[in-house]
Amino acid sequence: MNIKPIEQLMRATSIIPVLAVDDLAHAKPMAEALVKSGYPVLEVLIRTEFALEAIAEMKQVAGAIVGAGTVTNPDELAAAIDAGAEFIVSPGLTDRLGHAAIAANIPFLPGIATAGDIMRGLDLGLTHFKYFPAEASGGIAALKALSGPFGQCLFCPTGGITQQSVDAWLALDNVLCVGGSWVVPSQ
């Protein structure tokens, strides 16, 4: 069986910490602590001033697999790749961004919330998605309903997942991992 690179990343951990790095000095120590704690796959949100530099810093940590999150367009995609991002996560999926990520040949986890979003991804040849915002989009019940017509798809729910709810999400057959901002709170 040929497993796609994004699926390999999703299977490398059950929880992907979603990180907003506000101080560049914290980037490398944060990555070291997370990798040591069993969280090798790190999603750095590119919505902070130091995000792209943080990706480069975190990549210096042995065992860290560092990607860029909140990528919303091809320009941000290119900047994240230039910074060394090893995978890309977006909050949604547009044809422009999807085509650019596919052309860049980088593992890509686009955000979806509806059946139409999934169908757009399938049209692009994608089968692995970030279900976002997970809780606000109907939670576990909605994702279970989507699994009927889209049984070939695998998901990483993100948005509203908590330490208390993570096990229920991970119990779903079509969920390989979850994104967790609670792992490293912004404060």
Query: Domains in the chain, please, with CATH?
Result: 5-178 (3.20.20.70)
**How deeply is 87 buried, as exposed, middle or buried, from its count of CB atoms within 10 A (0-12, 13-18, 19+)?**
buried
Cα dihedral 46, 48, 49, 52 sign: negative
Residue 2 has pLDDT above 70, yes or no: no
Q: What is the pLDDT of residue 149?
A: 97
pLDDT classification of 160: cutoffs 50, 70, 90: very high
- pLDDT, mean of residues 61-82: 98
Q: In what order do the strands lie in the sheet with 128-131?
A: 111-112, 128-131, 154-157
As annotated, the active-site residues are 43, 130
pLDDT classification of 3: cutoffs 50, 70, 90: confident
Q: Please name the amino acid found at residue 96.
A: R
pLDDT classification of 4: cutoffs 50, 70, 90: confident
Sequence-distant (6+) residues with CB within 8 A of 77 are 71, 88, 97, 100, 101, 104, 106
Q: What is the pLDDT of residue 155?
A: 98
Average per-residue pLDDT for the chain: 96
pLDDT classification of 187: cutoffs 50, 70, 90: low
Residue 51 has pLDDT above 70, yes or no: yes
pLDDT classification of 185: cutoffs 50, 70, 90: confident
1 or 72: whose pLDDT is higher?
A: 72
Find the angle CA(21)-CA(27)-CA(29) to the nearest 5 degrees: 135
> For 97-145, how does the pLDDT look when each residue is reduced to its tens digit (9 = 90+)?
999 999 999 999 999 999 999 999 999 999 999 999 999 999 999 999 9
The model's pTM: 0.96
